[in-house]
Structure 1
Amino acid sequence: MRLRLVRAEYDGAERRALLSAARTGAVPGRHAALIKSREARRRCLEGRAEEAADAWREAVHDAIHAGLTEEAAHWLYALRAVNVQYGPLTAEIDDEHRLAQALRATGSGRVLDRVRDPREQAMSSLVRKKPIEAVLSARCWLTDSAVTGSWAHETEAADFLGDLYTDSSEASLAASYYQQAGKSKKLVSLAETAGDSLLPIESLHEGPWWVRHARAALVAAQADLIQDDRAARLLDDLTDLATRGLAGELVELPTQSLTIQAVKSACALVSRGTEEQAARLLDLLASEVPREPGHYRFIDDEHATTCVDIASAHDDLAYIALTRLFDLAGHGVQKSSILITEDTVLRLMGAGSYRKGLADQEVSPSPLTEEQRGALCVKAAGFVAEKLFLADVILAELDPGHPSVREQAAQARDRILARPEPDPRRVAFGTRMVSDSFLVGFLGEEDRKKCLAKLLEVARDPREAALNRQDALSGARNVVIQLPTETQPATFQFSKPFVLGERDGSHLDERVTGRPHPLSSFKVGSVSASLRGQGLYLAAASATALEEKQWVRDQALVLLHSDDNALVQAAAVTLSAIGSDVTGDIDANLLATHQHIGVRQASAVLSVQHMERHQDLAMRLTKDSDVRVRRTLAVAATHVAWERAASVAALLDVLRGDARHSVRAAAISRKVSSGAV
């Protein structure tokens, strides 16, 4: 009978004959139950959930009459699994569980006779730390579950095998079993730990929705590792899947998990495809833009990021993609507003603030015409009228001469200067001091000085919460870099106690910052309460003399030994940006051994700045286990001065052969600029 069931998997005539025999009583009851359970499994894999449930109910009926109570219990759990995977999710979801528990108390009849249950043996071997026995038993468990149509156990066994292979450092085998079990989160976690190893991705055209969901999630997690030609093929497959999902043609849960994941994965690959593929994805997502006020789409963040990726990769689609980005921002998608204020979009728009920040470098021309840029600026002006998120900052970045900019800057000044004294009875979080300090830069020098004084006053006040004081220090940094150099020494002296930790200690530190007590019922967050990091940024921005820069450098090196990751990151960023005139004495080789990723990124920047000393280090960093280090190295190498281009040629050649697409793109797409690192 088992051989006939194997043949029935691929022979329709044999399958129909077996089903007819089972329904007419031409085979014993135990065989009829097995035939129906296998048919139910096949229907479930094909997405025919209601038919699968009916077949399992018939199998349960036959199994009970044949004395196979254990198998009947397994098939009741299969019914429950089908309801979970396909719906409906109702209050009666556990009815089958209760029936299965009652059945197991009446006997233990099984279709397959085993000396010991392979499930129990696998788990016992795992507890006894015998991985080989656990794997063998789990494989037997998975095989038996498939043979008997025990759907819930089949998924559990595949998941169990995935965990075993993960613990045994067999990532490829683990990925295959996790895909079979539909464990998307475990696949993403496995991809993160696998580093630059590409895990196997099975077909997106086959399998039930949760299996294809897991495969699509793995595609998104490994988008940077997939080969270019395969990335284009997968992009087509994912776009087809998303098109069917948005049209309601896929069999999945009402939450449309597969459709959403297909869209997200396609967005992750869109920059790797052709212009036609990018245009097709933009057209597909057009219907996701209009919405009622206050509504949100699960794909909004990926949609916004996709617009930037397409505009960056395809000049002919830049205006269409950026228009979509602005439309999303106009409908309240905050991710879009944030992206518009970042360097990539400012470069694409040819924004003056971006060019001013790179005045010493060769800036690639904007792909937009003046008319197209003007149309987008009109949209940005509309954001201000509608009081959308970051609307004032967006308009100031894109069109600083607009009449509304100065008006918004005056309002920002008034908000800073009118900030009330702290009230010990209440604390407000989420200030606008950082964005307001940027806008103040469009006012006169006297206004900026007044705002700087107020921000420093807030930063100095221990009655303020640490988060607010950190915002004040960040705002002061934004203002001081826009003031004449003669005003900066005083600010530098002001920042020194903060850098040394002498100003730490703020209102409610023990409750809203740092690590909460494990028994505390009031846990707000785990952000750092220290002001040293923001103080270091302010000191670096206001340091003008060589001695001041050297002091900042020394303090940054001290903070590298901190247990606070936020301070270590601040120190690493400062060392990367402070300038090559004071970093020549730093041992970049020592930084490269640090566990913190930010410090190793700083070592990559310093190795390129001082290539004559650290060429060997730079070449070693091309093999760093973290892609972020290699990507930082590539970006730094492509921004060296023209006269030093020869010194990084060999380095760039190595990076252009990196396993990661983002590293290769960083080393290839940018021309060596006339500015200096």
Structure 2
Amino acid sequence: MSNAAEWHRRQLVTCDAEAERATETFRRTAGRTYVPLPPLRKVLNEWFRRGWCLAAIQRAWEVTPDDRHQRRGDPLGTRSKPGSTRGATAWERRWTRLFPPRPPRTSNASGPGAGTNSAAAERPAVRAGAHRIEVRALEAVTERKLPAVLRLRDWLRFAHASGYWGTANHVRRLLARAYQDAGEPDRAAALLIQAARLKDADELARATGDRYVDVRHDLTAPAYWVPAAAFRILAVQADRVPDDHVNEIVDAALDVLDRHRAGQLQDAPFFSPSLALEATKAAAALAGRTTIEQASRLLDHLEPSVPRGLDHSRDTDDDHVAACVAIATSHSALREAAVAQLLDLLAQTRSGVAHRVETSASELFSQHPDLVRPRLAELAAEGNRHAGALLSLITDEPSEAQLTAARAAAVELMAASKNTAQSIGAGAGAGRQSLLALHLPPEERTPLVRAQLDRAASPYEPGTNRSEYYLAAAALSDGLEDVDALFEEAMGRADDARPRDHRRRIEPVRRAARPAPLRGRAARRVRFPAARRHSGIGRPHGEPAHG
């Protein structure tokens, strides 16, 4: 080993000791709600210095196989003690696997720098195919070979030893994908949780089908991004969570919200997953299966999110509405409190949460009209169009004004779309118009269903408009028995991703306009005919509300 490598070895030992001391100081001085910058900066500097020393040792250790065999006895001074040859050999084998030698440079001896290159050319040839560890790992991943997992694990160990945290998270993602392809979602989930890859964890939880990935052991981890990613996985697979796991998960989420309200939660939502937001999402997804005490605590945490300014929305709006609807449906003792929060959210006409309440709570309001009719009438009198649409659903005999509004909505639903290859807009308003048109007799609603499905078949409609058309068609088809063929045709057309004509090749928003599988109420209506009576957003004229 050269003097330079020996010097780097000593520097590495010093860096290790300093990094450990700095890390311990950082852990001891770190507060609960903030990250002290000086200790953190010192830790990062020491680990960066450590990685630089490792890179220097790698350059010094790039020798040929023959030289490496000759120097095997005393790498980096490991034979300072008698009987340490075995440890030195293991040390060399491990570092040789992490840092394979580079091939020598070759060039024309008469060119510039011929002396240096000729000296390199005199060295013994290294074995063919020697590459860096990351290159070999990526090659195995590309070829989808089984050794990819082993090579990725070696790369991950090297990233940890070097302090390359960004590289470590990148390798975790690749290794998680390899485990997922091998049918090991539990191992893949553990890696994605450690790397705080929420989007990838969300996709993994959706791709596991009916398999439940148990990540409860990560809910109490000290690093806030670990339980945040675990809560996301549990929220996505809420319908697969066993009954005996629900209370533990909800209690953990409520404890996080308690610490958040008390100002004792270590969280950094601007740079990484928000623990408080993901805990709210998980608790809302399981709100319908909680105990009455847990549901009451969840409502208490959600209540401060109701008031807001003009044109202001919150990240928890969707989960807030879903939790209130689930609690009002499952717990009769808390129904009045949950409905009160929904009505208060509905009153926020300058916020997108009002539309969410209109589409998500319409069935709940139809089942309990006496509980919401006075407040809906008050909001409708103030000009709240969302409240007016919901009020029309719970009225037994529509008034002349409601019939007039239903016919006007039918005209809008039958109108041709204005989207073309040159101009594409989002926001069709078909969902609200379908609620108003529910007062029309069945024979007048059948053409409206056909018109919405034809709209969704247009190659110039973005995905948001298509989803709205499908939901509107499902709502209008409630109580109709002659529209099954229309939905079956729509599902077959949506599953076909092949271009149907030359217009698809000149489509400027090809990705958004590509047909997507029918989802939501329209798909459930066709696949589960027994649930037709409960699949629509509202109910047709003259039919009593569902009990």
Above 0.5 in TM-score?
A: yes
The correspondence for 1:346, drawn from 349, 356, 366, is 366
CA shift digits 1:413-437 (9 cap, x unpaired): 3xxxxxxxxxxxxxxxxxxxxxx31
Give the Cα–Cα distance (whole angstroms) in 1 for the partners of residues 309 and 241 of structure 2.
Answer: 38
The correspondence for 2:12, drawn from 23, 30, 45, is 30
Contact 2:54 2:162 in 1 (8 A): no
1:151 matched residue in structure 2: 165
1:206 matched residue in structure 2: 221
Query: Which runs of 5 or more residues in structure 1 are unaligned?
Result: 1-24, 73-110, 352-372, 414-435, 438-450, 483-487, 517-522, 544-548, 567-594, 609-631, 637-673
Aligned pair 1:123/2:138, yes or no?
Answer: yes
Q: How does 1:41-440 map to 2 (within 5 A)?
A: 50=37, 51-61=39-49, 68-69=55-56, 114-116=98-100, 117-130=132-145, 132-201=146-215, 202-255=217-270, 257-332=274-349, 333-335=353-355, 337-338=357-358, 342-347=362-367, 349-351=368-370, 373=371, 376-398=372-394, 410=401, 413=404, 436-437=405-406
Query: Which runs of 5 or more residues in structure 2 are unaligned?
Result: 1-6, 60-93, 101-131, 421-426, 497-516, 536-543
CA shift digits 1:503-558 (9 cap, x unpaired): 97xxxx9xx97335xxxxxx8558569x99999998x7998xxxxx7xx4695488
Instruction: Report the CA distance shift for 1:35/1:158 in structure 2 as closer, same or farther (over 3 A).
Output: farther
Instruction: Report the CA distance shift for 1:247/1:535 in structure 2 as closer, same or farther (over 3 A).
Output: closer
Q: How does 1:524-673 map to 2 (within 5 A)?
A: 552=482, 556=486, 559=489, 562-564=492-494, 601=524, 605=528
Give the Cα–Cα distance (whole angstroms) in 2 for the partners of residues 297 and 469 of structure 1.
Answer: 22
Partner SS, residue 205 of structure 1: coil
Deviation at 1:67, TM superposition (A): 7.8
Opposite residue 128 of structure 1, the aligned amino acid is E
Opposite residue 157 of structure 2, the aligned amino acid is T
Give the Cα–Cα distance (whole angstroms) in 2 for the partners of residues 287 and 469 of structure 1.
Answer: 30
CA shift digits 1:553-606 (9 cap, x unpaired): 69548836842469xxxxxxxxxxxxxxxxxxxxxxxxxxxx977898567645
Opposite residue 135 of structure 1, the aligned amino acid is V
Contact 2:51 2:164 in 1 (8 A): no
Aligned pair 1:481/2:498, yes or no?
Answer: no
Deviation at 1:325, TM superposition (A): 1.4
Give the Cα–Cα distance (whole angstroms) in 1 for the partners of residues 47 and 257 of structure 2.
Answer: 36
RCO higher in structure (CA 8 A, sep ≥6): 2
Deviation at 1:388, TM superposition (A): 2.8
Contact 2:173 2:192 in 1 (8 A): yes
Instruction: Report the CA distance shift for 1:378/1:322 in structure 2 as closer, same or farther (over 3 A).
Output: same
Give the Cα–Cα distance (whole angstroms) in 2 for the partners of residues 532 and 287 of structure 1.
Answer: 34
The two structures have a TM-score, normalised by structure 1, of 0.52
Deviation at 1:247, TM superposition (A): 3.5
Give the Cα–Cα distance (whole angstroms) in 2 for the partners of residues 537 and 266 of structure 1.
Answer: 29
Opposite residue 294 of structure 2, the aligned amino acid is Q
RMSD: 4.8
Instruction: Report the CA distance shift for 1:398/1:542 in structure 2 as closer, same or farther (over 3 A).
Output: closer
Contact 1:239 1:266 in 2 (8 A): yes
Instruction: Report the CA distance shift for 1:465/1:481 in structure 2 as closer, same or farther (over 3 A).
Output: farther
Instruction: Report the CA distance shift for 1:156/1:460 in structure 2 as closer, same or farther (over 3 A).
Output: closer
Contact 2:410 2:437 in 1 (8 A): no
Opposite residue 379 of structure 2, the aligned amino acid is F
* Same amino acid, percent of matched pairs: 21
Contact 1:37 1:148 in 2 (8 A): no
Deviation at 1:146, TM superposition (A): 2.8
The two structures have a TM-score, normalised by structure 2, of 0.63
Deviation at 1:228, TM superposition (A): 1.4
Deviation at 1:264, TM superposition (A): 1.2
The correspondence for 2:459, drawn from 508, 515, 524, is 515
CA shift digits 1:112-149 (9 cap, x unpaired): 5534343232112222332x221101111222333443
Deviation at 1:232, TM superposition (A): 0.4
